[in-house]
Structure 1
């Protein structure tokens, strides 16, 4: 017996159901035809969910394969969103400079899970004002100044003894160290590795980094996200819990600061600067800056300032143990330029071309941020011959750019020499190496990250020789995708102290 046998369907009801079904199908077909007319060529999908059911692999790999079939700029339906994906440098460099592509989606990154947005998720004037303020505050507390390098060096001194020995889980060791640096700018505080608060904050960020993707279901089907989260389906409840727990920990620091804050307080960190600007604006009747945004900004800054650098350093370790000859090349530059008695400084990079070339190649082949954070067209625009209608989502597939064969011959081969010029005496960073994105929405922390990467690697190799008992070259490039693209198999490492 069929389920419909329990219901008495009258002719008018059948007509209504048939009419509604026809309307849904007709509307879908019209929207698909309209998409084909206005948007770049691309694959079809199903009603409501679009192409999402066909994504069986990491999304940046799917985009790369589709680009080979439909061209470097293609479109597809992802949930309710028309989406354009850009997979080559010729069009990406134009897109980076296009003011119409600076907006974010109307929903935040955690649509269906939380409602508050950080300035990273904002568009238009609110984004510009928050970005301007964030840059100003961070500079006031030492970002981009000599004090920043001193802070990093001090943290590295604390970190190095923790990795000496055998069977070291490098990722577990490096994460609390790197996050300590961004903590100084956000909280005005450097934590002991045993601090319970810091351990909990790092753990929650680690959980979020493992399970959350910026191009996950919440980005394209927020209504379904709410339903699945309510019924605790998939990993959405884990994501929501990690976000809330991280936010609550950040709120503790904001609450602590509020107890002693006054407008005349000297600005020592991001929280101080934001509170001061909030009070100034409030006196003028401007409420664009508020506590909810402050909490989300600090959480996002902490995560971004920890995840990308720690992950890039993990990739660096991966390639150093797989190619020990590169350790020796970097160490020869250390011996010649720095020696073993003084600590490295960032200006040393100008005389260490191979070291810089190694870091550039790690950023290229690692592609820690494989796809750019989602953009939205704020108005109709064109990229080359391709039309991008207003409110279309736009994704820059940085993975494809970093493996574009006409830019990078033999792109799957790890080869730092591709960045060397003048017979290996200079390192050249081409404009199409874009690990931090580019343009007006590039990563605010790019300068900090570059200093960290150089000083950590040089400081480690100045003191230790790195080895691993288990090296499988077939596993070297394999990855897992969360917030960032991480090494899937980073073996336990031995850091043996050098004798001089």
Structure 2
């Protein structure tokens, strides 16, 4: 009996050693225990812990967290080289992301292969046709900016969080493109929708990450227990967003005029019908449409609205920059007009300030996760199939090789010796880089310019007396004092 127990223990030990074997050619970094790997500390953000590892292991780091192998890229040239490779353009099977695609590869953001290429090309073409980069869409953004100014004017002189209209203005731009709709600030439906998106982000950065690290948990956690946790809430939020989007698409199907497409959804429905007549196995589907449109809202709304908040927080911290931007606007734009992109050449300091805010405030410091489609040699290492690949954007944005004062807020980083804007710089990748570069980069830049210019032309922003604000606490509620400029 004792012999059998010892033999079983020995076999178990050998199995653990085999399972815990580190793949050959893997970049240096923490490996840890079987099953658990080396879990990150809860005292520091993961991005900060990777920065510390970089000092020991270099610019390419492997780290087994739970059941997953993560590869962190911490240098601009390395990230650029990696993300131009087709082998690193896949998306991983992560619970936190796939929950919004019915656990499929539907849509654009989390799709891959032929489906991804087809949908990305279609989206780029349609967004351009629908006004991205054209005066028609800018007119819609200017209208939202005017509404934003009017609403901010109702919140003067008292300490309070930024008005909800800052989220609705951004949402309405996406609605204009995708569904030809517009909502008022007080509309309860759109407020509830935006709160769903914001709450999903909180869970995405919390309990959902645990399911990403230990994907087998979903098969062992009882559904009744899951329902009582944040995971259950996350699943319900995803269902609510899906139901909302499905309703919008159904309305479009019922009112579709083949000769007069109104928006992205109409154009997709018409293209899908045309392709399905020629090929029943075409890659366009209602599920792809729903997931793609949902991704536009989740990514496009949160990124722009939180960046606007970050810009205002930085300008509260640096009132001298706020004053300089406002003087530039006053000198270049008529008293009763809102700044437009036509004024950009006359507003280089404003544009440089927005770019500097994008540099020092990395909303997603580790970017969206890629994965390796196969075992791939890279920079002297072998990146194993299904490894999760993350770009440390914050390392690039604070790299002294590219920035004179990397840890300071300095709009001059984006101005040349003649005071002209230099927007394309090595070491700067707020919208990622390579094959998966953000679809909405051009739209986001126009929104940030027009909304920021409109607000600073009309208002000054400060912190309540005795209160310190911080862009590092971007997702916490912080109070501002808004004063109308005369």
Instruction: Specify if TM > 0.5.
Output: yes
Structure-to-structure mapping, 1:367-406, within 5 angstroms: 367-406=362-401
Farther off after superposition, 218-227 or 115-124: 218-227
| Counterpart among 143, 148, 152 of residue 163 in structure 1 | 152
Structure-to-structure mapping, 1:40-439, within 5 angstroms: 40-52=27-39, 54=41, 56-107=43-94, 109-111=96-98, 114-117=102-105, 118-164=107-153, 165-166=156-157, 167-170=159-162, 172-213=164-205, 216-225=209-218, 227-228=220-221, 230=223, 231-232=225-226, 234-261=229-256, 264-283=258-277, 284-439=279-434
Q: Provide, for residues 25-83 of structure 1, a one-character-per-residue CA deviation record: whole Å limited to 9, x for no partner.
A: 13224x32xx2x31111112221232235454322122222112211111111333322
Farther off after superposition, 332-341 or 110-119: 110-119
> 1:22 matched to which residue of 2?
13
For 2:37 and 2:126, how far apart are their aligned partners in 1? 42
Q: Provide, for residues 382-420 of structure 1, a one-character-per-residue CA deviation record: whole Å limited to 9, x for no partner.
A: 443333233322111111111123322442221212222
For 1:150 and 1:229, how far apart are their aligned partners in 2? 52
RMSD (CA atoms): 2.4
For 1:223 and 1:171, how far apart are their aligned partners in 2? 42
Count how many residue pairs are aligned between Structure 1 and Structure 2: 477
Change (3 A) 1:24 1:267: farther
Farther off after superposition, 143-152 or 447-456: 143-152
Farther off after superposition, 11-20 or 374-383: 11-20
Shift of 1:468: 2.6
Change (3 A) 1:161 1:120: same
For 1:441 and 1:123, how far apart are their aligned partners in 2? 10
Change (3 A) 1:391 1:210: closer
For 1:236 and 1:270, how far apart are their aligned partners in 2? 32
Change (3 A) 1:387 1:220: same
- On the 8 A contact 1:112/1:222 being kept in 2, the answer is no
For 2:379 and 2:402, how far apart are their aligned partners in 1? 19
> 1:493 matched to which residue of 2?
481
Shift of 1:297: 1.1
Change (3 A) 1:285 1:111: closer
Farther off after superposition, 192-201 or 69-78: 192-201
Is the partner of 1:394 in helix, strand or coil?
strand
- On the 8 A contact 1:40/1:75 being kept in 2, the answer is yes
Change (3 A) 1:471 1:248: farther
Change (3 A) 1:221 1:281: farther
Shift of 1:427: 4.3
Shift of 1:339: 2.8
For 1:472 and 1:68, how far apart are their aligned partners in 2? 35
Is the partner of 1:421 in helix, strand or coil?
coil
- On the 8 A contact 1:110/1:219 being kept in 2, the answer is no
Farther off after superposition, 56-65 or 154-163: 56-65
Is the partner of 2:368 in helix, strand or coil?
coil
Q: Provide, for residues 426-459 of structure 1, a one-character-per-residue CA deviation record: whole Å limited to 9, x for no partner.
A: 4454132111101221111110000000101111
Shift of 1:227: 4.4
Unaligned 5+ residue runs, structure 2?
A: none
Change (3 A) 1:425 1:299: closer
What is the TM-score of this pair, normalised by structure 2?
Answer: 0.91
Unaligned 5+ residue runs, structure 1?
A: 1-9, 480-485
For 1:453 and 1:303, how far apart are their aligned partners in 2? 17
For 1:409 and 1:226, how far apart are their aligned partners in 2? 50
Change (3 A) 1:355 1:289: same
Is the partner of 2:386 in helix, strand or coil?
coil
For 1:350 and 1:239, how far apart are their aligned partners in 2? 45
Change (3 A) 1:40 1:243: same
Change (3 A) 1:258 1:11: farther
